Structure formats: C-alpha cells, structure tokens
Amino acid sequence: CSASANKPVLTLFTKKPCPLCDEAKEVLEPYKKRFILQEVDITLPENSTWYDKYKYDIPVFHLNGKFLMKHQVDIQKFEDQLTKLEMHND
C-alpha cells in the first residue's frame, strides 16, 4: 500500500513567533493523518521570495503547491480540497 506516498502535502508558510500559525496547526490536528505538513520559515535567507510575498499574511497554506488559504484555516475549503485530492489519487 503506497497510500503515504500519495498523501497531499500541506505547506505552511510561517515565522517565529506566529501564534496564528500555532492556532492553525491545532485546527488541522484532527486531519493530520491525511496529509504531510511541510513548514517553510519565511525569515530564512533562502526563503526571501516567500517573505516578500507573504510577510503580512502568515499563516499561508499551499496544498500540493497551490495556494489554498491565508490568515486562518478555512476548514470547509481545506476539507473540500483534501477530499478532492484523495479521490483523484484513488
């Protein structure tokens, strides 16, 4: 079973400290078996492009490389997109 290989990747653009990011991660906790969370610290020099783009908007989420949401988790939107990707993978 290669289910884990096909798990969608949720990218969280964040920086330290980010209370909103912590909050967002808590909201996503019940779903965490269904995706791979990848965190990108926008303050790192190699992420300066993301910093310029998102410095006023974090947390920002991309799902499989596509912009999904920012500021806070839209759980309905997240679940819809996640389900869509899961159905696509089957």
pLDDT digits (tens, 9 = 90+) for 32-73: 999 999 999 999 999 999 999 999 999 999 999 999 999 999
Residue 41 lies in a domain: yes
Residue 28 lies in a domain: yes
Question: Which amino acid, one-letter code, is at 41?
Answer: D
Domain that holds residue 39: 9-88
- For the chain, the distance separating the N- and C-terminal CA atoms, rounded to the nearest angstrom, is 12
Number of structural domains, the chain?
1
Residue 50 lies in a domain: yes
The pairs formed by 2-6 with CB atoms below 8 angstroms and a separation of 24 or more are 6/89
CATH number at residue 80: 3.40.30.10
Residue 4 lies in a domain: no
What confidence tens digit (pLDDT) does each residue in 23-32 have?
Answer: 999 999 999 9
Q: Write down the residue that tokens 């410095």 correspond to.
A: 55
Q: Please report the pLDDT score of residue 80 as a whole number.
A: 97
